[in-house]
Amino acid sequence: MIQANKLIGGPSTILGAGLVALDVILNGAPTTPAKLCAGGSCGNVLTILSFLGWSSKPIARLSDNGATKNLFKDFKQFTVNTSLVTKSNDGKTPIIIHRILKDKDGNSQHKFEFKIPGTNVWLPMYKPVLANYVDTIVNKQPKCEVFYFDRVSRSTIELARHYSENGALIIFEPSSLKDDKQTMECLELAHVIKFSSDRINNYSDLFPVANALLEIKTLGKDGLEYRLKSCDQKNWKKVPSYKFENIKDSAGAGDWCTAGIINEIGFQGLKSFSISTEDQIINALKVGQALGGLNCMFDGARGLMYNMDYNTVIKVLESIASNKPVSNTLPVNTPKANILTVKNLEFNTLL
């Protein structure tokens, strides 16, 4: 169901620019230690692909502070390459509180917070890489198989253009759409556009015909829809989701879905995508959905990675592909990565 995509001479390389953040995972119990891990859509997608065997290199403009130190610790254990990340006084390391709660019926739900708990103080937010740093990046890393971005800025546009001209598959995952020149440039450059219907519910009204070679609209528990520029450009086709029991936290499901899709169709850049049949694209979408659903059985946007190793994940995916009940495929004991936990977290230690 999932392929180990290794190029001759080394693994496939993905570069990503956008939201790289420190996630602080909390629940409703004050006595429960906070969990600190790398996050943000860009940070998650690249870390997941590193877990799947890729060479992952995020591009970010972070601050030289405690949040970045903890973020780098998490990147290191999953072999994420941070050579294109800058740490400086004029950078910002976004901090996102990921709070896991229960509703009145006992069902898990999550919300994101952007202020220090109990205060009106905003946590640091995203700051784009400066456009004058683009030449430095492309000199260090002239080529890659995939370039992923989730934020609009002049630097990401120039990076996307450069890597597209050098054979990369360009993936754009907007969280919102603005009616401006830069957003339109991003849409024109992207080979694959993926978005959530919760965040962008008027995409089809704005764009009745496909902009990109592949467009993916996620529908949460109802699965996803896709359309291809090469055929039937107007009509979306449905791919239903897998059914999972014991859902703990749905955060990060979309990032796992993105990573699974990239793993299946982007391992040789635009070339491997271009020769993919529609059936192969559908399989890639299903792999992404299976990974996203599996992660929902654990706390955190990448909780799966701290509870199963790569080989175990592959075995579970094979069981899912065979239509076996997911709850019956989970192993009791598997090797685990370490997630940093902090009792009585003081946010000023991160700033």
Q: How far apart are CA 331 and CA 148, in angstroms?
A: 32
Question: For residue 122, what is the DSSP state?
Answer: B
Angle at 139 between CA 136 and CA 142, to 5 degrees: 130
**Lowest mean pLDDT, pick from 6-15, 38-47, 257-266:** 6-15
Confidence category of residue 90, pLDDT binned at 50, 70, 90: very high
Across the beta sheet with 21-27, the strand order is 108-113, 95-102, 21-27, 34-39, 340-342
> CA 120: distance to chain centroid?
29
pLDDT at 21: 99
At residue 173, the pLDDT reads 99
Rounded CA-CA distance 34/308 in Å is 21
Instruction: Look at residue 321 in the predicted model and tell me its pLDDT.
Output: 83
| pLDDT grade for 328, boundaries at 50, 70 and 90 | low
Q: How many CB atoms sit inside 10 A of residue 315's CB?
A: 14
How confident is the model at residue 246, as a pLDDT? 83
Residue 163 pLDDT > 90:
yes
pLDDT at residue 330, rounded to an integer: 67
Q: Residue 2: its pLDDT value, please? A: 67
Using 50, 70 and 90 to split pLDDT, how confident is the model at 195? Answer: very high
CB-CB contact of 113 with 100 (8 Å): no
CA 70 to chain centre: 19
The pTM of the full predicted model, rounded to 2 decimals, is: 0.95
In tens, the pLDDT along 145-161 reads: 999 999 999 999 999 99
Average pLDDT over residues 42-50: 99
Provide mean pLDDT across the span 257-281: 98
Q: Residues 133-149: what's their mean pLDDT?
A: 98
Domains delineated in the chain: 11-323+341-349 (3.40.1190.20)
91 touches 61 (CB < 8 A): yes
**Confidence class for position 332, pLDDT limits 50, 70, 90:** low
User: Residue 171's CB: how many other CB atoms inside 10 A?
Assistant: 27
Instruction: Taking residues 32-49, report their average pLDDT.
Output: 97
Q: For the residues of 183-251, what is the DSSP string, one character each?
A: HHHHHHH-SEEEEETTT---HHHH-SS-SSSEEEEE-GGG-EEEEETTB-TT--EEEPPPP-SS----T
Query: CB neighbours (10 Å) of residue 142?
Result: 10
CA angle 39, 42, 222 (to 5 degrees): 85
Average pLDDT over residues 14-39: 92
**Predicted local distance difference test score (pLDDT) of residue 335:** 64
Q: Give the distance from CA 112 to its chain's centroid.
A: 16
Say what the pLDDT of residue 105 is.
Answer: 73
**Average pLDDT of span 239-265:** 94
* Average pLDDT score, the chain: 93
Q: Nearest CA to 134 among 113, 153, 111?
A: 153
Cα 81 to Cα 47: distance, rounded to the nearest angstrom: 10
Query: With bands split at pLDDT 50, 70 and 90, how would you rate the model's confidence at 323?
Result: confident
Per the structure block, which two tokens stand in for 117? 């708990």
Q: Does residue 8 have a pLDDT over 60? A: no
pLDDT level of residue 225 (50, 70, 90 thresholds): very high
What would the pLDDT profile of 97-123 be if each residue is shown by its tens digit?
Answer: 999 887 777 777 889 999 999 999 999
Q: Region 40-54: what's the mean pLDDT?
A: 98
Average of per-residue pLDDT across 197-217: 96
pLDDT above 70 covers what percent of the chain? 94
